[in-house]
Structure 1
Amino acid sequence: MDWGNVTAEDLVDALREVEWSSPPRPFSEFFSRFTVPRSYSKWNSRLKCNLYYYRTNYFIMIVFVLGIGFLRKPLAIVAALLTGLSIAFLNDSFAVTFNEKVTRMVRQFSPHLAAKMRPPISPVIRGRPSSKKGIFICGWPRWVFVFAFSSASCILWLTSCSLLTVLWALGIALLAMVLHASFRSPNLKARLNTFREEFRAVWRNYSEL
């Protein structure tokens, strides 16, 4: 697969729809073999490949850096968790899994309430289900939870007076992520992983070598 042909939009769509429950890559693999890309095209291809392959590691790294920045501010830690959840809800797999687990837990105490939390039935057009299937969480559209958690996190950021701290911590974490993705040489395992059906299912315009 030629990562140079993968656009930023394709990469964002893939990260939004791909399964994020996979464990992070081992540290021995994550922090090994750093080289300088020979050209801009090589750097562009390497950056996209590493962002997709080490996505779980980068997410943990960002959370870790934010956690260090807020060790003395518990309210800011709660705000960071709410921000992380609002971002995680944008991922289709996480939103669906979260909805299923919450519904299953509620069903043990109140089956009637769990039935109300089911997503609405997709409309049928000419005997076929509609291709546009929205993501629902606890019976509500996903954007409701994203807006609610984002609003709550913004209020907590302003209340804890940690907005400048989070900007610095987030900037450092993103810079570290970009530097690692730029200089970490894609190994054979990362290249073979891109040929799996996992990415083919979420990338619209894939090409095989």
Structure 2
Amino acid sequence: MIVLILGLGFLRRPLGIVAALLTALTVSFLNDSFAGTFSEKATRTVRQFSPHLAAKMRPPLTPVIRGRPSAKRTIHVCGQPRWVFVMIFSCVSFILWYVSCGLLTVAWALAIGLLATVLHASFRTPNLKARLNTFREEFRAVWRNFSEL
């Protein structure tokens, strides 16, 4: 949603749209399942063209001590640690934001987004799920009584 809004804001600036997409990809790489899935799909795609390069893109083997895998497992994307991809994509997206003259717009969007989040959290009713369940049970009781008539 945020990327769509930023993309509409930069409709006249194609570099701004690319920067918004690259920023979304950077944030997505922070998710473990997305990073693993992306790495797997990219490796499969590269394997069709160059099996040798696909073999290099595999993550390094992790040592197994006494039949137990390491508890602290680092996520690899295309054979590199995830933080390398996040840093590269962050730097490239920052450069694209700077070149497209969109840093001020991104700063305003970030400020408005943070303000909206804080306002939403402060006005949110506590225990909304329990209140909705109570309402649902009351509605069912009334409906049962109504259908018996």
Q: Quick check: TM above 0.5?
A: yes
The CA deviation at 1:65 is 2.6
**Runs of 5+ unmatched residues, structure 1:** 1-59, 192-209
Structure 2: gaps (5+ residues):
134-149
Aligned partners of 1:148, 1:167: CA distance in 2, in Å? Answer: 21
Confirm or deny that 1:172 pairs with 2:112.
Answer: yes
Question: TM-score when scaled to structure 2?
Answer: 0.75
Quote the sequence identity (%): 69
Deviation (angstroms), 1:127: 3.6
Partner AA of 1:72 in structure 2: R
- Across the aligned residues of Structure 1 and Structure 2, the Cα RMSD in angstroms comes to 2.2
| Distance change in 2, residues 1:134/1:96 (3 Å) | same
Alignment check: 8 A CA contact 1:99 1:137 kept: yes
Larger Rg belongs to: 2
**Aligned mates of 1:80, 1:152 — CA distance in 2:** 11
8 Å Cα contact 1:96/1:135 also seen in 2 = yes
Number of the residue aligned with 1:75:
15
Query: Displacement of 1:92 after TM fit?
Result: 0.5
Per-residue CA deviations over 1:149-175 (Å, capped at 9, x if unaligned) read 011011112212211011112222333
Residue in 2 aligned with 1:161? 101
The CA deviation string for residues 102-155 of structure 1, in whole angstroms up to 9 with x for no partner, is: 111112222222122111111122342211111001111111110110110111
CA distance in 1, matches of 2:81, 2:91: 16
When structure 1 is superposed on structure 2, of 168-177 and 147-156 the one drifting more is 168-177
* CA distance, structure 2, for counterparts of residue 100 and residue 94 of structure 1: 10
Q: Distance in 1 between matches of 2:11 and 2:91?
A: 22
Q: Name 2:65's counterpart in structure 1.
A: 125
CA distance in 1, matches of 2:117, 2:4: 12
2:139 counterpart residue number: none
| 8 Å contact kept, 1:103–1:114 | yes
Closer, same or farther in 2 for the Cα pair 1:66/1:184, shift >3 Å? farther
Indicate how the Cα distance of structure 1 residues 68 and 187 shifts in structure 2: closer, same or farther if over 3 A, else same.
farther
TM-score, normalization by structure 1: 0.55
C-alpha change, 1:124 and 1:114, in structure 2 (3 Å) is same
**Paired AA for residue 108 in structure 2:** W
Q: Work out the number of aligned pairs and report it.
A: 130
Measured after TM superposition, the shift of residue 183 of structure 1 is: 4.1
Higher RCO, 1 or 2 (CA under 8 Å, sep at least 6)? Answer: 1
Match of 1:5 in 2: none
* C-alpha distance 176-68 of structure 1, shift in aligned 2 (>3 A): farther
Q: Which runs of 4+ in 1 moved over 6 A?
A: none
For 1:160 and 1:133, the matched residues in 2 are separated by 38
CA distance in 2, matches of 1:151, 1:178: 28
- What corresponds to 1:106 in structure 2? 46
Separation in 2, partners of 1:179, 1:79: 28
Secondary structure, counterpart of 1:121 in structure 2? coil
